[in-house]
Structure 1
């Protein structure tokens, strides 16, 4: 397999190239065959690269883009008013075959709009969906959509289910269990879209649909793929990240209250550190924008260098799995 070629929106996110350049250099060390193209304001990017010694410039190039899309900018303005933005140039590199994947921590709405315009959706897909794997009591569960589509039709939820199933299969899950996130497991629960989606999924051949799951069931590992609209999914993800951070800080505070608690903490700390590392949001950063004719990974806007490196890692995995081609084949079987 050829070396992964990944384009990076170096200007996106809350911290821009000051965070992204170190993450890219660390990724080159992690993956010796990886090639990266940093897209953005070339003078600034080159200056930041120069602060690092031993960088293999044969695997790290810079593509100039004169415009930057703000985190609060309207997607329509980003689409029509900034033809030379770092995000758009990054996506055009994928479209033109100069990169196999794109990674951005920038404006989610703008990334969605530009990805649809530049890369186009796969046949059978109305709108792409953001997916990531969250840790559960039994392993991991793929959850989608996580914010790309606030309002979804029943048909779109079914498309998300197909895409989530393909991703889980690519991770080695045999006949992934698919569930719809709902306020109860009974068939009478939920809004009209969820009920209609459930009816459609029960009729879909080739999918292992198991019914509704509640939020606690998701974390118990009752399903391998959980489907919801982007409004619900984004709240679920951000709440989970906040809960993990809060519990970690509370544990650290409790173990520092007294001499006895500090002694207990010294004994328990190796296990607690392992648990914290496993659940840390930075380790799971990087949501795939599924359903496009190309690989796009969305990093959290507030990601630090470690978290952004995780998003690059996600892109490398998807290039190796040839995910768009896998999706195309399954969509032909199930939706077309």
Structure 2
């Protein structure tokens, strides 16, 4: 399997990106393509004495910045590391994409170059998040600020298939993010989406509040991109605050340091459970090839794990299963 990686996307590019790719090639039995300034990449390999076995370099002279307008940047910077990588994916020169570049630019490039699966109304961002139970999938986490109920229904289908095929969850429990459990709660959008999800043949467990999802009551949490992104950023902020408070506590004195030493092993295990790097990246579901968006601040560990996620996505046959599921349904309405 071959993964194409945008070597110049992200806060720590290209160093941490390339380091993560080298580790993934060594440990996961894959090959990789790195897109970006070829001379800069060659210098980096030489300086760090990294092996380039199984890694191909493809020159791309431009970079799309985090603050650039996505559509204009993708259309104008045709030789950017992101656009070149997406073109390689679309042309079949790679099996999956991983990148830590701008979310908007990556989403735009995926839709314009790689294209949606036939029948998909809207692609959706779907990160895997920790809970007190098993991890769960949030869909959508910000690709679509405004949604229709039929799109939320389709998010439920895509999320359920992803957790089943990629993570091996049997009959994934699908919940709808809302302000209460009763079917009549929420706006007209949530009320209609509830009815659609209930009739969709999924293992729908009803409306869930954010605390329910974090307590482990679902495997898939469906939301419009606006509410989903707020939920995601709030959860990330709470996790960062918690780990920061723990760090301050255990550095506050000798007795605190002694207590930290006693619980170091189980504490590290729990902190790893809420570390976003553990889960790699965010899948962009609904695109015709596997696309994984790594966090902009990703280090080598996060990139390596994102590549592992892309590998599982490709090997799972999820895209084919989704195509079959959509074909079995009546033709959807035209995308809005």
Band of TM-score, shorter chain? over 0.9
In structure 1, what is the equivalent of residue 195 of structure 2? 199
Tell me how far apart the structure 2 counterparts of residues 335 and 71 of structure 1 sit (CA, whole Å): 39
Deviations 1:277-336 (A, max 9, x none): 222121123001011111110011111222222211211111221221122122223464
CA distance in 1, matches of 2:147, 2:250: 45
Contact 2:45/2:52, CA 8 A, preserved across alignment: no
CA–CA distance in structure 1, aligned partners of residues 50 and 71 of structure 2 = 41
Q: 2:23 aligns with which of 26, 31, 42?
A: 26
Matches within 5 A, 1:313-328: 313-328=308-323
| 1:12 aligned residue (5, 9, 16) | 9
Partner of 2:34: 38
| Aligned partners of 1:124 and 1:335 also within 8 Å | no
Q: Deviations over 1:143-164 (max 9, x none)?
A: 1111111211111111111100
Point out where structure 2 has 5 or more consecutive residues left out of the alignment: 332-336
List aligned pairs for 1:86-97, cutoff 5 A.
86-97=81-92
Query: Residue deviations 1:169-202, cap 9 Å, x none?
Result: 1122222111110111112211221111112222
Mark the runs of 5 or more structure 1 residues left unpaired by the alignment.
none
Task: State the Cα RMSD in Å.
Answer: 1.5
Q: Is the 8 A contact 2:6 2:36 kept in 1?
A: yes
Find the aligned partners of 1:11 and 1:262 in 2 and give their Cα distance: 40
Is the CA contact 2:280–2:307 (under 8 Å) kept in the aligned structure 1?
Answer: no
Count of residues in correspondence between the two structures: 330
Contact map agreement 1:104 1:299 (CA 8 A) in 2: yes
Spell out the pairing of 1:117-196 with structure 2 (5 A cutoff): 117-170=112-165, 171-196=167-192
**Secondary structure, counterpart of 1:79 in structure 2:** helix
Aligned partner (choices 215, 224, 243) of residue 229 of structure 1: 224
Q: 1:84 aligns with which of 67, 79, 88?
A: 79
Aligned to 1:136, the other structure's residue is in SS state coil
Query: Residue by residue, what CA displacement relative to the aligned partner does 1:100-132 show, whole Å, maximum 9, x if unpaired?
Result: 001111111111111111111112212111112
**Distance (whole Å) between structure 1 residues aligned to residue 31 and residue 87 of structure 2:** 17
Task: Give the Å deviation of 1:72.
Answer: 0.9
Q: Is the 8 A contact 2:22 2:50 kept in 1?
A: no
Instruction: Give the structure-1-normalised TM-score.
Output: 0.94
Q: 2:291 aligns with which of 292, 296, 309?
A: 296
Q: Which of 281, 293, 303 matches 2:276?
A: 281
Equivalent position SS for 1:51: helix
CA contact (8 A) 2:64 2:73 kept: yes
Distance 1:153 1:280 in 2: 32
TM-fit CA distance, 1:80: 2.0
Deviations 1:250-274, CA, capped at 9 Å, x for gaps:
1122223233222222111211111
Give runs of ≥4 in structure 1 deviating > 4 Å.
Answer: none
Question: Structure 1 CA distance, aligned partners of 2:133 and 2:330?
Answer: 30
Give the 5 Å matches for 1:238-257: 238-257=233-252
